[in-house]
Structures are given as C-alpha cells and as structure tokens.
Amino acid sequence: MADVFSPEKRSAVMAAVRGHRNKSTELRLLAILRGCRFTGWRRNHPLPGKPDFAFPKLKLAVFVDGCFWHGCRQHGSMPKSNAEYWLAKVARNKRRDREVGRLLRDKGWEVLRIWEHELSRANEKRLFAKLSRAYFRNQRSNGAE
Ligand SMILES: [Zn+2]
C-alpha cells in the first residue's frame, strides 16, 4: 500500500513524532540520573551531535537513541511504505552517530549511547550499572569531585 503522505510530509510527521518521543525519553533519563544522584550534568551543552546530557567535568557525553531513528536491531523495524526512504535515513543517522562519536573522542570525551529500550523499568538496574561504570570511571580519570 502506498503511503498516504509524500516523503516530505511523512518526514514532517515523523519529526513531530520524534520530537515527542525524544522529549519523553530525555525526561525518563533525567529521572534516572536524578535517581542515581549523579551531579554535574548539563543539557544543551554545546558539543558536536548535541548530546542529550553532558558531564563537562567528566568529559562524558550521553545520548539517548530512539530505536527506530538509530536502527536498533530489536525494534528498528521499517514502515512498509517508503521502506527504502527510511532505510536510507536511518543509515544516515547511524553514520552521523559514528562521526559524532569520533569527533567527541578526538576532543577527549567519552561517549555513552543508550537505547530507548534500555530506559524501560525492567532494565533499570542494568542501565544504572552502565551509567555508574562510565560516571565513576571518568570521575577517576578526570580527577573531578
Ligand atoms: Zn530497541
């Protein structure tokens, strides 16, 4: 079945969806960071790729990746219509993710990418462990308080 929207219109629709979801995943991670009692994070810190959260003293950048937009193997299923268009778009996102990661590492930052699906309540302990490892490792290596 053909998509009811043109690719441009579909893009705008999906962008609106993404905006909403990004906001909810960011807020979810925000709640988790607060729950972990981590300190020193910033939002909208000026860095390549605009990480969702940055810990400037620790030089730790955290991204939350939507399963669809970043091509998660478990949940990144393509819409049936315009599949090629979406495949190309997701491939571009993944390429950009790698480039951003390289840019940040070149600047001495560690990059932590978290999948949208890792934010589920069932995964809370594992996510906490993943965040803690990065947080405390960088705290030691950067000598921050
Ligand atoms: Zn996923």
- Helical spans, DSSP H, in 3-123: 7-36, 83-106
Q: How far is the C-alpha of 93 from the C-alpha of 131, rounded, in Å?
A: 23
Distance 22 CA to ligand 1 centre (A): 14
Note whether 73 and 122 are within 8 A (CB).
no
* Identity of residue 26: E
Report the helix count and the strand count for the chain, using DSSP H and E: 3, 3
Find the range with the poorest average confidence among 12-16, 31-35, 38-42. 12-16
Q: Around ion ligand 1, which residues have CB less than 5 A away?
A: 67, 72, 74-75, 115, 117
**Taking 50 as the threshold, does the pLDDT of residue 1 lie above it?**
no
**Taking 70 as the threshold, does the pLDDT of residue 45 lie above it?**
yes
Q: For 132, how many CA atoms within 13 A lie in the half-sphere containing its CB?
A: 9
**Taking 80 as the threshold, does the pLDDT of residue 72 lie above it?**
yes
Distance 127 CA to ligand 1 centre (A): 14
Distance 27 CA to ligand 1 centre (A): 17
Distance 115 CA to ligand 1 centre (A): 6
Note whether 30 and 92 are within 8 A (CB).
no
Q: pLDDT at position 35, please?
A: 85
Tell me, what DSSP letter sits at residue 115?
E
Distance 18 CA to ligand 1 centre (A): 14
Distance 143 CA to ligand 1 centre (A): 34
Mean pLDDT, to the nearest integer, of 107-127?
A: 93
**Taking 90 as the threshold, does the pLDDT of residue 40 lie above it?**
yes
Percent of the chain topping pLDDT 90:
52
109 compared with 10, residue with greater pLDDT: 109
What angle, 0 to 180 degrees and rounded to 10, lies between the N-to-C axes of helices 7-36 and 124-142? 70
Distance 142 CA to ligand 1 centre (A): 31
What backbone phi and psi angles, to 5 degrees, belong to 67? -60, -40
The two tokens of residue 51 are 């990480």
Note whether 48 and 100 are within 8 A (CB).
yes
